[in-house]
């Protein structure tokens, strides 16, 4: 792992022959309209005319379309895949937007104005003015309870969320605790049930009263939903089995953090493993700061 300072990459010239951010202006406008509706009704899914993107479904086509619609020439983009900035999905989407927009990209959370993410919310707290874009595989929280969309829409409209708790009940009965580790359903603004996309439930508390605008795009399912800044978000639980987040017995082995989401990395075939921060940017910054601190400490 390198400790070189990560400077924001300088803007490149956009690839000729493409409109800014790949999609044509009318399409971007229609997606922004859906996003505005979504912001107006927090947690409610708005259908939109999802386009074919130059990547397969399941690789973040929904997130890419939302990003393409809201990105501007002055934006600085960060892309996260499972917390990391250097994995295939993150690298490719970042390169894609550099190519078709010629904008700045960064790996540092605090420098970014727009963050597209898959599976994680950065450990660094977000601030006002930032936009988070989530890639969503399955937006409908009632799907596994009610396969009919018509009936599910009715349940949302009438706020009939009892059956969702049946799943929590079953978890407690079978495992003694609520075992859903990711995509843990939340109630938004005391009204709509929402899937937060497959983020670990460790990140659920970060959704609550977040100062950043959070947009969720599902490309294959053609849905957009949103959490405006400072929206109340509550993870489902029982009165006598409150919602909890994951904890680990050891700190991150690279930076020593004890308050972050840790990934287990198998290092050989002898059973050795490492526990390290899944947020690479946060971990790198802590390592740099520790590096600077070490001489004064010793």
Secondary structure of the chain in HEC code, one letter for each residue: CCCCCCCCECCCCCCCCCECCECCHHHHHHHHHHHHHHHHCCCCCEECCCCCCCCCCCCCHHHHHHHHHHCCCCCEEEEEECCECCCHHHHHHHHHHHHHHCCEECCCHHHCCEEEEECCCCCCCCCCCCEEEEECCCCCCCCCCCCCHHHHHHHHHCCCCHHHHHHHHHHHHHHCCCCCCECCCEEECCCEEECCCCCEHHHHHHHCCCCCEEEEEECCCCEEEEECCCCCEEECCECCECCCCCCCCCCCCCCCCCCCCEEEEECCCCCCEEEEECCHHHHHHHHHHHHHHHHHHC
Residue with Cβ nearer other proteins (18 or 169): 169
For residue 18, state whether it binds other proteins (rule: CB under 8 A): no
Name which of 111 and 160 has its Cβ closer to other proteins: 160
The span of 50-58, 133-141, 170-178, 192-200 binding other proteins (CB under 8 A) equals 170-178
**Which of 240/269 has CB closer to other proteins?**
240
Task: Fill in the per-residue mask, 130 to 169: x = in contact with other proteins (CB under 8 A), - = not in contact.
Answer: ------------------------x---x-x-xx-xx--x
Site string (236-265) toward other proteins, x via CB under 8 A: --xxxx------------------------
| Residues belonging to the active site | 43, 252, 255, 277, 283
How many amino acids of this chain bind other proteins (CB under 8 A)? 16
Question: Which residues contribute to the site for other proteins (CB under 8 A)?
Answer: 154, 158, 160, 162-163, 165-166, 169-170, 172-174, 238-241
């Amino acid at each position: 792992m390198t400790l070189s300072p990560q400077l924001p990459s300088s803007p490149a010239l956009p690839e000729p022959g493409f409109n800014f951010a790949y999609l044509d202006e009318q399409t971007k406008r229609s997606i922004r309209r859906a996003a505005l509706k979504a912001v107006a009704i927090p947690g409610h899914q708005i259908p939109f005319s999802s386009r074919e993107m130059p990547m397969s479904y399941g690789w973040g086509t929904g997130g890419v379309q939302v990003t393409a619609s809201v990105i501007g020439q002055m934006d600085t983009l960060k892309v996260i895949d499972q917390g990391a900035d250097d994995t295939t999905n993150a690298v490719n989407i970042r390169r894609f937007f550099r190519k078709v927009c010629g904008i700045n990209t960064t790996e540092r959370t605090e420098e970014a104005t727009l963050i597209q993410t898959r599976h994680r919310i950065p450990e660094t707290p977000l601030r006002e003015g930032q936009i988070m874009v989530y890639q969503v595989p399955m937006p409908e929280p009632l799907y596994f309870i009610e396969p009919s969309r018509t009936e599910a829409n009715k349940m949302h409209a009438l706020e009939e969320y009892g059956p969702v708790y049946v799943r929590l009940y079953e978890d407690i009965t079978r495992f003694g605790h609520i075992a859903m580790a990711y995509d843990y359903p939340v109630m938004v603004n005391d009204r709509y049930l929402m899937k937060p996309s497959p983020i670990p439930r460790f990140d659920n508390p970060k959704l609550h009263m977040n100062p950043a605008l959070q947009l969720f795009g599902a490309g294959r399912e053609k849905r957009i939903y949103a959490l405006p800044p400072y929206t109340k978000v509550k993870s489902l639980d029982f009165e006598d089995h409150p919602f909890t987040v994951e904890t680990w017995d050891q700190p991150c082995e690279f930076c020593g953090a004890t308050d972050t989401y840790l990934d287990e990395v198998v290092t050989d075939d002898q059973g050795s493993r490492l526990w390290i921060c899944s947020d690479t940017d946060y971990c790198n910054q802590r390592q740099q700061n520790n590096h600077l601190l070490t001489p004064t400490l010793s």
